Amino acid sequence: MDDQEFKKVIDEIGAVISAHQRFVLMSHVRPDGDAIGSVIALGFSLMAMGKTVFIINEDGVPESLEFLKGSEKVTTPPKDPLEVEVAIALDTATKPRLGDGSLHAASKAKIWLNIDHHISNPAYGDINLIDARKPATGQIIYELIKALGYPIPDETRDAVYVAVSTDTGSFQYGSTTAATYELGADLIRRGLNVGKINADTYDNHPYRRLELMRALLNTLQISDDGQLACWELLDQTRLDLNLQPDDSEGLIDMIRSVKGVRVAAFFEELHDGKIRVSMRSKDSGINVCNVATEFGGGGHALAAGIRMAGPLSDAKPKVLSALKQALASQ
């Protein structure tokens, strides 16, 4: 999506928002900072305009993000469909990733807006604002709000920052642009307490996360050439440590950061017998999204994921083989 098309779609979204009153905002299951931050950011901006807004997520707000102002407005989907005119999906690469409950809750919406930065997004909305050039959906939301002259209450300000910070590795990843840093500067000028919000985001983990890290390190494997690292989380470990879904968030960066490692993979057994695979590349020549799509997943060139059939003993060798082939081709 080039700049001209980006502006055109923003204007189309603005026209839809102006013409309607009742909205439901959603993001993907097992939400991360960009997912929750984006729905809070846009939701509170719309509420400040006098719109009626419902903010839902299949799994609710992760414990690690409950510090965010406005997070109490994010609820799990009600059992009955909401009386809404417009549904807005944020940071969600495929519609099923919103979850069955959220899709049912939004079923009365006549218009679907799809706002995302995943390159694998198939454009499932009536209007699609998908820009893979942006490092986070939160940055797209910020640019939309600014372009349309919408209000930026404190909840929106803080949520945009967390959305962008968490999806850029605290402004470290190569997808971070000058515009991303300018966004951060603008939010600070608007009153963002950058020290406190960073401490709340990165320095406030439960002890069980440390226990999880120890368990993961005991499963660490590195290929003979040192380019591929992986570890695994068994469902029994999850039960033993009483883990929450977001306790593992960001831990893959530990093995990605090892000198010589070009690709990292994190395998998780889920309670339904499926396997969740997270992959990270720190080499632009290794596109892990291409590997993910081989198994029905998707994401970004340097960060992608899969949900596939188990057991782990079957799934893991298949994915590692595909990653090794990707490495060997470079």
The answer on 232 and 193 residing in a single domain is: no
Give residues with Cβ within 8 angstroms of 127, minimum separation 6. Answer: 9, 12, 13, 16, 111, 112, 113, 114
pLDDT per residue as tens digits for the range 16-73:
999 999 999 999 999 999 999 999 999 999 999 999 999 999 999 999 999 999 999 9
- The residue out of 202, 218, 233 marking a domain boundary is 202
The answer on 121 and 58 residing in a single domain is: yes
CATH number at residue 216: 3.10.310.30
The answer on 307 and 187 residing in a single domain is: no
Rounded to two decimals, the pTM is: 0.90
Cβ atoms 162, 201 nearer than 8 A: yes
Tell me the pLDDT band of 121, cut-offs 50, 70 and 90: very high
pLDDT per residue as tens digits for the range 271-323:
889 999 999 999 889 999 999 999 999 988 999 999 999 999 999 999 999 99
> In this predicted structure, what is the pLDDT of residue 284?
87
Q: Round to whole Å and give the CA distance between 49 and 236.
A: 47
The answer on 141 and 240 residing in a single domain is: no
The answer on 153 and 84 residing in a single domain is: yes
The answer on 303 and 214 residing in a single domain is: yes
Given a cut of 90, is residue 1 above it in pLDDT?
no
The answer on 271 and 157 residing in a single domain is: no
Give residues with Cβ within 8 angstroms of 311, minimum separation 6. Answer: 269, 273, 275
Count of structural domains within the chain? 2
- The residue out of 183, 202, 221 marking a domain boundary is 202
**Domain that residue 323 falls in:** 209-328
- The residue out of 185, 202, 219 marking a domain boundary is 202
